[in-house]
Amino acid sequence: MRELAIEIGVRALLFGVFVFTEFLDPFQRVIQPEEIWLYKNPLVQSDNIPTRLMFLPFLALASRRSTWRASCTASPRVGGERAGGSVLPFCPCTAP
């Protein structure tokens, strides 16, 4: 019961901090003349980001997973069908 009271107290405190900071005036950053060069990035001719490269790891894992499933369903079962064996010794999809 004590832990529940502590949890509720911490959450109430965090909510209070959130409400307090939510209604403060926004912070206005003043950029000094010495650091203005940091924000002057040159324009590039092509700002195209190749999104195909971004999804290659996901596609590779998805294709491996479907290959594993196909090998699991096509492989013989340990102990035979009549013996009730259902776990494949080399199938990464099934838990031992």
Contact 74/80 with Cβ under 8 angstroms? no
pLDDT in tens, the chain (96 residues): 999 999 999 999 999 999 999 999 998 989 898 888 888 876 667 777 777 777 887 877 777 765 555 555 555 555 545 444 555 555 555 554
End-to-end CA distance of the chain: 40
Question: Taking Cα atoms as reference points, which of 70, 95, 66 lies closest to residue 87?
Answer: 95
Query: Domain spans of the chain?
Result: 1-43
- Give 37's DSSP letter: G
CA distances from 90 to 61, 68, 72 (A): 18, 10, 9
CA atoms of 70 and 66, how far apart (whole Å)? 6
The model carries a pTM of: 0.34
Contact 92/69 with Cβ under 8 angstroms? no
The predicted structure's pLDDT at residue 76: 53
Radius of gyration of the chain (CA): 29
